[in-house]
Chain A
Amino acid sequence: MTNDKAAPASGSIMVVGGGIAGLTTAIEAAEVGYEVFLVEKNPYLGGRVAQLNQYFPKLCPPTCGLEINFRRIKDNPRIKVFTLAEVEKVSGKPGNYSVSVKINPRYVNENCTCCGACADACQTEVSDDYNLGMCKTKGAYLPFEMAFPAKFVISPQIIGTDDANRVKESCKYDAVDLEMQAKTVDLPVGAIVWATGWEPYDAHRIDNLGFGQYDNIITNMMLERLASKSGPTQGKIVRPSDDKAPESVAFVQCAGSRDENHLPYCSYICCMASLKHATYIREQYPDTKVYIFYIDIRSPGDRYEKFYNKIKEDKNVFLIKGKVAEVSEDPATKNITVVAENAVTGEKIHQTVEMAVLATGMQPTAANAKLPADLKTNDDGFFINDFEKGGMFASGCATKPADVISSNQNATGMALKAIQTLVKR
């Protein structure tokens, strides 16, 4: 090793996925001194955590850490970010890959100043993916306030319409390029880290829990958006049927998780997430009752345990050991009745609430979308790392269900594994 200012080995690393794990892997590797390509399919970085209102157990906004990470990217020319991009093909071997990355058109070029005139001019509204389709956004939009890169996006849905022209004309800076086409770039890299993350398990598939059937049954991720200022209700938690502030809310734990018919594993985060959600509700509504139906409360570690103990002290939060077996709706009030068996007393509980939240679990993104690379997965679609082979690794929730802390520990370590591939070459 020479005593110069460069990194100890040459070569680049590609990180696929710009969520918290991918960001961590990319930035940590780049701060050692390596060139990193960060490929993200959304028009913005941050992934799932960018959709969260707060983190447990500190109840702090994820944008706080994202802001620091974005600044680290801004200050580090070694990181090249590709948004709206997907890996199409990987060829080669550890230490020497060629990756084809398809970059989808944003229809907005680098001239965009983020002034917002295009959104003002656009008349069409499209489904707001960032808000899980719970509301609409303009066809020319900034995904959310803190989005990075801070550039607008034009939905392909308005391309070819009058609106597209209106949007183009509204831009004083010639930033709208309606002719923009998808393009493919080939990048040579020595190692690839797949940080493709997770998706909330599709609650429609859990027949007995009534999602999609009854208006006032929502998922935990939807509640994150409801509680968030940048969400569809500007942070007001209201039930979907009539926008009423709920006076009672039930949480159905293990909605899909720990269930052979759905996800056999425990999704790690849902207990802590629901305890956190109880704080969202209790802060907005001092009298609202919260019922949490669980099998076991999994609050691993000192800090999580402390958080659980704090929530337990709240007289309006009721923790009931029992798995919810069925739900029903009163068509007149749109209230939901959840039926569970109290595991300890054996009695059947019928609890009627104004809104129910399904604590749906984590499914690896790769379970539903096969990646163009030779990677081993387990039966549930999580990647199994092969450190002997090296070259390609998975980090974060692509490898196992995990919270943000463990994901980031894992993602930091995977940056090192990627660097090792370059050193070995």
Chain B
Amino acid sequence: MDKKYGVYICEGCGIGESLDVKALCGVPEEEGVPVKTHPFLCGKDGVELLKKDIADGTNSLVIAACSRRVNFDIFRFDGCIVDRVNLREGVVWSHPRSEFPALTEEEKEDEDNFDRVQMMAEDYIKMGMIRVEKIKLPEPYVVENLSRKILVLGGGITGMSAAIDAAKTGYDVTIVEKTAALGGYAAKVRKQIPVSAPYDALIPPVVAAKIAEVESLPNITVKTETEVARIAGQPGEFTVTLKKPGEKIPFDVPFPLPPEMKLDENGKELDAEKQHEAYLAYNEGKNDILQLDPNGELFGAVILAAGWRPDKLKGDQYAHLGYGELPDVITNHQFEEIAKAGKIVRPSDGKAAKSVVFVQSPGKGESDSDFAYAGAVTSMVSLKQAKYVREDYDDGKAFIFYQHMRTPGFSELFYKGLQQDPGIFMTKGAVMSVAKNGDGMIVDAENTLLGEKLQVKADLVVLGAGMVPVTNDDPVINLAYRQGPGFRDIGLFNGYVDSNFICFPYETQRTGIYAAGAIRRSMTMEEAIEDASGAALKAIQCLESVNRGVSVHPRSGDMTFPDFFFQRCTQCKRCTEECPFGALDDDEKGTPKPNPTRCRRCGTCMGACPERIIGFADYNIDSVGSMVKAVGVPSEDDYSEPPYRILGLVCENDAYPALDMVGLNRLSYSADVRLIPIRCLGSMNVIWIKDALSQGMDGVFLLGCKHGDDYQCHFVKGSELAEIRMKKIGDALASLALENERVAQFEVAIDDYDKIPQIINDFVESIEALGPNPFKGF
């Protein structure tokens, strides 16, 4: 597009009172760019002024007014490039004249005096002007063969529910089930916990009705005794190879080389070609991930509902419970099998089990935790199974020993109902031992509500073992992604495929693949059915977003995508390795192959690239680098005591809003800093820091999200990656003879606006203590 520029400066909200707007106009005027001012730019008149200029051909606007977080709709003009220069929150509100006095007329006469706040505003306008010059309007990426079909992995209650929900919304669905029949675990239970009033009786399994519904819907295809060999490609056009379970085929997904195999005998990393050779040998007989299966089936999105398996209790920690030794000590899963087959009997001799003890917590008196992977489900299962005992035998007795009865929400009402049953005894207590006693067993418990020590005779002892997500054993999705076939294990979820975000439960690090049901958290069937609807929505939303050429959450609607200048790629693979979403697959030489619809537009690849060949239409190395270079760095040639210049690169998701709150609360910070919002600290390329320092700026800081186990980064690892890059920058600084302390990174949360001024001011002070950058003025 032929750009026609215009700069518009608002004088409202204190801008006009605080700044010399006429002088500000000089900035664009000097460049020959038309500039207009308005006392109230977001008002009707102001917007008319903008619209009129746009009608007359202006298409690249710098609007110097308030933060881009407000008046977002008013200053959005289709087909135009707009940069919002934040004079209000970022300059005048956060640098009140009471603390940063303007120059008096008299002071102005001496050219050695300067006005820090005015300088700040001028710099920001220059930065906005260069940005609109450097960026382009995005054009959407459109996939060639969009498939709207949805693949559901798992034919249990979750998978079937998701399939039904997607099918009823008009989408074609294929269910892939490993076993010979639909139903999953839900088909193996005798009864279910009630989900509505009255809560006094168990309900028959709902699974038969689900199977019938799946079979009645013409747009659902069911493939039993089938599993995924590989899922290749990207959302909107996944190429899927299916196979019989256990079969070995060339399109089985290859696994990445384990780290130790990437090294030679001296512990040095092999070069790209050698690594590729080793990788081929490691995956002999399997086609590379980039080889598409010509017979593969196309799908747009995937729902992972492969469920769970009963935990196998192993190890000494259960020895006191007699498990493995006494035949009538079984798990809740084994108990359910017995209950499904008929009346409750003992495995040892087939005799009626009329006294059954349920153990929820294996830790004796030392730990009050339930069995691993229990969640709240095993408490509820024990209640249900106690009820079986009572259903089968009028004189049956069930004893439940728990540390905490976990019946959250409405399941409390079922628990309460059971308390009325004279044959069900429930107590907090630590089960100390289970021992043989005649032809039965005796269970010793301590610290119970019924007495300090308690002994119960039992025909059967049932341990409340947990639900292990099948992803604990196997990646299941078998993605033909260079980063590996499974969800990236970030060591937080104990094998579950859960989201780390409280607000965004369907976030995964693999775009277009949404987990539901017990694979993400131990949950009841009721919860799993509900979860399935959400995952179905996300799958549909993803492929409709692909169809529109826009990103999904968190940059929903973003039309930009990373563009690579491959001629300069040195095959270092950093982009492939660092992408939080596994969007890039490199070829045998190490050249990345982008998969734009896997991409979430965080820019981590751009930050990682040492050759600086990755960028987005409206956000790239040059656009930010040019903003850095637009900052005026006064030296002793200009003033006898020139002000310091410090650059801040701030995460736009959390730190930038917090900075707006600094302004809104009229808190203040040094006027010698210049801030640039970036998509994520992961997109921070160290060249910007080097640019800043080599042009004489005195220090650079990054403001980003908290990392660690409870990370708040919306792109998973952005702030962590930035920190790693910052650590490595020391060498570069040393070569410039600059101190390490000139660069720093700070973690802030969005509500830390009260702390930010102090953080910035302390950093500025520390830089002042170091003295000015010796490169200043060169």
Which A residues contact B (CB, under 8 angstroms)?
1, 3, 5, 7-9, 20, 27-29, 31-33, 55, 57-69, 71-72, 74-77, 111, 113-116, 145-146, 150, 172-174, 229, 258, 264-268, 296-303, 305, 309, 321, 343-344, 378-379, 384, 400-402, 404-406, 408-417, 419-420, 423-424
Query: Chain B nearest CB: distance from A201 CB in Å?
Result: 15
Contact flag A416-B410 (CB < 8 Å), given A32-B544, A297-B404, A343-B428: no
A413 and B533 form a contact (CB under 8 A): yes
Residues in A whose Cβ lies below 8 Å from that of B522: 301-302
B463 at the interface (CB under 8 A from A): no
Contact in complex: A265, B197 (CB < 8 Å)? no
Q: A416-B540, A423-B169 are in contact. Are A65 and B504 (CB under 8 A)?
A: yes
Proximity bits, B415-455, A CB within 8 Å = 1, else 0:
01000000000001000000000000000000111000000
| Other A-B pairs beyond A297-B368, A413-B534, 5, CB < 8 Å | A60-B712, A113-B66, A409-B530, A412-B506, A413-B165
Cβ contacts B54-79/A at 8 Å (1 or 0 each): 00000000000010011111000000
One digit per residue, 1 when the CB lies within 8 angstroms of any chain A CB and 0 when it does not, for chain B 397-416 equals 00000101111111111001
User: Would you call B384 an interface residue if the criterion is a C-beta within 8 Å of the partner chain's C-beta atoms?
Assistant: no
Given contacts A60-B502, A412-B538, contact A5 B547 (CB under 8 A): yes
Q: Is the CB of B654 within 8 A of A67?
A: yes
Chain B proximity of A394: nearest CB distance (Å): 12
CB under 8 Å from chain A, chain B span 308-346: none
**Complex interface: chain B residues within 8 A of A173 (CB):** 12, 40, 43
Q: Which residues of B contact A150 (CB under 8 A)?
A: 69-70
In the complex, residue of chain B having the shortest beta-carbon distance to the beta carbon of A78: B557
Indicate if the CB atoms of A298 and B657 lie closer than 8 Å: no
CB distance from B168 to the nearest CB of A (A): 5
Chain A residues within an 8 Å CB radius of B72: 74-75
A-B contact pairs, 13 of them (CB 8 A): A28-B538, A29-B537, A32-B541, A58-B712, A71-B69, A111-B42, A145-B665, A146-B661, A146-B750, A174-B43, A298-B408, A344-B448, A413-B533
Given contacts A300-B408, A302-B521, A410-B530, contact A20 B503 (CB under 8 A): yes
A61–B537 CB distance below 8 A: no
Q: Which residues does chain A contribute within 8 Å of B73, judged by CB atoms? A: 74, 77
Known A-B contacts A58-B710, A114-B664, A302-B375; the reply to A409 vs B657 at CB < 8 A is: no
Name the distance in Å between B754's Cβ and chain A's nearest Cβ: 6
Give the 3 A-B CB pairs with smallest separation, nearest first: A413-B533, A65-B503, A300-B376
Comparing B201-209, B493-501, B757-765, the segment that makes contact with chain A is B493-501
Is B178 part of the contact surface with A, judged by Cβ < 8 Å?
no
Asked if B676 is at the interface of the complex by the 8 Å CB criterion, the answer is no
- Mask of B365-378 contacts with A, CB within 8 angstroms, 1/0: 00011100101100
How many whole Å from A41's CB to the nearest CB in chain B?
A: 22
**Most chain A CB inside 10 Å of its own CB: which residue of B402, B412, B664:** B412
Identify B502's interface contact among A33, A384, A405, A419, CB under 8 A: A405
Given contacts A229-B754, A401-B409, are A416 and B165 in contact (CB under 8 A)?
yes
A55 CA / B502 CA spacing, docked (Å):
8
Taking a contact as CB atoms under 8 Å apart, the answer to whether A420 and B165 are in contact is yes
Cβ A305 vs Cβ B170 within 8 A: no
Contacts of A410 in B (CB 8 A): 530, 534
CA distance A392 to B436 in the complex (A): 58
Residues of the A chain whose Cβ atoms lie less than 8 Å from the Cβ of B405: 296
Asked if B653 CB lies within 8 Å of chain A CBs, one says yes
Select from chain B the residue with minimum beta-carbon distance to A422.
B169
- Per the bound structure, the CA–CA distance linking A115 and B116 in Å amounts to 23
Q: Which residues of B contact A408 (CB under 8 A)?
A: 502-505, 534
A112 to chain B, nearest CB (A): 10
Q: Provided the pairs A296-B405, A420-B165 are in contact, do residues A68 and B12 lie with their beta carbons within 8 angstroms?
A: no
Inside 8 A of A268's CB, which chain B residues have their CB? 408-409
- In whole angstroms, how far apart are the Cα atoms of A309 and B405 in the complex? 16
B741: interface (CB < 8 Å):
no
Residues of A near B653 (CB, < 8 A) are: 64, 67-68
C-alpha spacing A297/B541, complex, angstroms: 37
| Stretch of B548-556, B579-587, B626-634 that contacts chain A | B548-556
Say how far A227's CB is from chain B's closest CB, in angstroms.
Answer: 11
B95 to chain A, nearest CB (A): 16
Task: Check B375–A301 contact: CB distance below 8 A.
Answer: yes
How far is the CB of A365 from the nearest CB of chain B, in Å?
17
A264: B residues at CB distance < 8 A: 412-413, 416
Q: Are A61 and B504 closer than 8 Å at their CB atoms?
A: no
The smallest C-beta distance from B311 to any residue of chain A, in angstroms, reads 13
- Take A258-B412, A265-B410 as given contacts and tell me if A28 and B537 are in contact as well, using a CB distance cutoff of 8 Å: yes
| Partner among B527, B534, B750 whose Cβ is within 8 Å of the Cβ of A67 | B750
Contact, CB under 8 Å: A69 / B751: no
Cβ of B645 within 8 Å of any chain A Cβ, yes or no, is no
State A347–B197 Cα separation when bound (angstroms): 36
Task: Sort chain B's interface into a size bin.
Answer: 35 or more
- Residue on B nearest A410 in the bound complex, by CB: B530
Rounded to whole Å, the gap between the CB of A362 and the closest CB of chain B is 9
Residues of B within 8 A of A69 (CB): 503
Cβ-defined contact, A5 with B548, below 8 A: yes
Q: Most chain-A CB neighbours within 10 Å: which of B40, B527, B530, B754? A: B530
A94 CB to nearest B CB, Å: 14
Enumerate chain B residues within 8 angstroms of A384, measured Cβ to Cβ: 196
Q: B494 to A302, Cβ gap below 8 A?
A: yes
Note all chain A residues with C-beta closer than 8 A to B407.
266, 298
Compute how far the CA of A32 lies from the CA of B300 in the bound complex, rounded to whole angstroms: 14
Report Cα–Cα, A32/B522, bound state, in Å: 29
Pick from A299, A302, A309: contact of B496, CB below 8 A. A302
Q: Measured between alpha carbons, how far is A229 from B753 in the docked complex, in Å?
A: 9
Given A344-B428, A378-B197, A413-B533, also A404-B413 (CB < 8 A): no
- Measured between beta carbons, the chain A residues less than 8 angstroms from B664 are 114, 116, 145
Q: How far is the CA of A378 from the CA of B402 in the complex (A)?
A: 30
* Residues 133-192 of B contacting A (Cβ, < 8 Å): 146, 148, 165, 168-170
> Across the interface, do B749 and A61 meet the contact criterion of CB distance under 8 Å?
yes
Q: In whole angstroms, what is the CA distance A11 to B301 when docked?
A: 24
Which of B70, B406, B416 is in CB contact (< 8 Å) with A298? B406
Indicate if the CB atoms of B661 and A145 lie closer than 8 Å.
Answer: yes
List chain A residues, Cβ under 8 A from B749: 60-61, 64
Take A31-B552, A60-B749, A343-B449 as given contacts and tell me if A266 and B408 are in contact as well, using a CB distance cutoff of 8 Å.
yes
- With both beta carbons as reference points, the residue of chain A lying nearest to B40 in the complex is identified as A173
Q: Give chain B residues whose Cβ lies under 8 Å from the Cβ of A65.
A: 501-504
Minimum distance in angstroms from B674 CB to a CB of chain A: 23
Query: Which single member of B411, B502, B521 contacts A58 (CB below 8 Å)?
Result: B502
Write out the residue numbers on chain A whose beta carbons fall within 8 Å of the beta carbon of B714.
68
Known: A32-B537, A410-B530. A9 touches B170 (CB 8 A): yes
B13 interface hit (Cβ, 8 Å): yes
B197 to A402, Cβ gap below 8 A?
A: no
B677-731 at interface with A (beta carbon < 8 Å)? 706, 710, 712, 714
| Contact for B553 among A3, A9, A55, A72, CB less than 8 A | A72
- A302 and B170 form a contact (CB under 8 A): no
Q: How many Å from the CB of A220 to the closest CB on chain B? A: 16
CA distance A27 to B545 in the complex (A): 13
Tell whether B777 is near chain A: CB-to-CB under 8 Å: no
Contact B533 A321 (CB under 8 A): no
- For the complex, give the distance between the alpha carbons of A382 and B28 in Å: 60
> Which residues in B have their C-beta under 8 angstroms from that of A145?
661, 664-665, 753
A411 (CB) vs chain B CBs: closest residue: B534
Collect the chain A residues with CB atoms within 8 Å of residue B448's CB: 344
Given A3-B146, A32-B537, also A409-B168 (CB < 8 A) = no
* A383, B170: Cα distance in complex, Å: 27
Nearest chain B CB to A211 CB, angstrom units: 23
B532 CB-CB contact with A under 8 Å? yes
Q: Does B83 contact A (CB under 8 A)?
A: no
B123 contacts A by Cβ under 8 Å: no
Instruction: Please measure, in the bound complex, the distance between the C-alpha atom of A124 and the C-alpha atom of B101, giving whole angstroms.
Output: 32
Contact A344–B502 (Cβ < 8 Å) = no
Cα(A345)–Cα(B168), bound, Å? 56
